[in-house]
Structure 1
């Protein structure tokens, strides 16, 4: 069972990525280091509501 989630940059709060998350294995919010085109560097992206 997967759920579609949106990832937002922790620095500039722009919503750059969307991905799927396995709800049965991951109960916490997803955090991934990805490239932000607004900031121009790799930053932490967190799952939004």
Structure 2
């Protein structure tokens, strides 16, 4: 059995383009794209950034890790 903290932790990824620009108010659906994934605490100690598809921006953007 492993002692101490878990190595894999769940993280929340949020679209940086939506947060920075604000979501386009002309579109019917507004919101901020968020994904839930896991990261290895030992291999990736700093914040995680991945390119994911944002349905509100209608393109692939950088999604950065946010605190829960």
CA distance in 2, matches of 1:47, 1:23: 13
Query: 5+ unaligned residues in a row in structure 1: which ranges?
Result: none
Number of aligned positions between the proteins: 49
Give the match for residue 43 of structure 1.
61
Greater Rg over alpha carbons, structure: 2
Tell me how far 1:15 sits from its aligned partner: 4.1
Deviations 1:1-29 (A, max 9, x none): 10000000001132420000100111110
Taking a change above 3 Å as real, the CA distance of residues 15 and 40 of structure 1, as seen in their structure-2 partners, is: closer
Question: What TM-score, normalized by structure 2, do the two folds share?
Answer: 0.67
| Structure 2 stretches lacking a partner, 5+ long | 1-6, 20-31
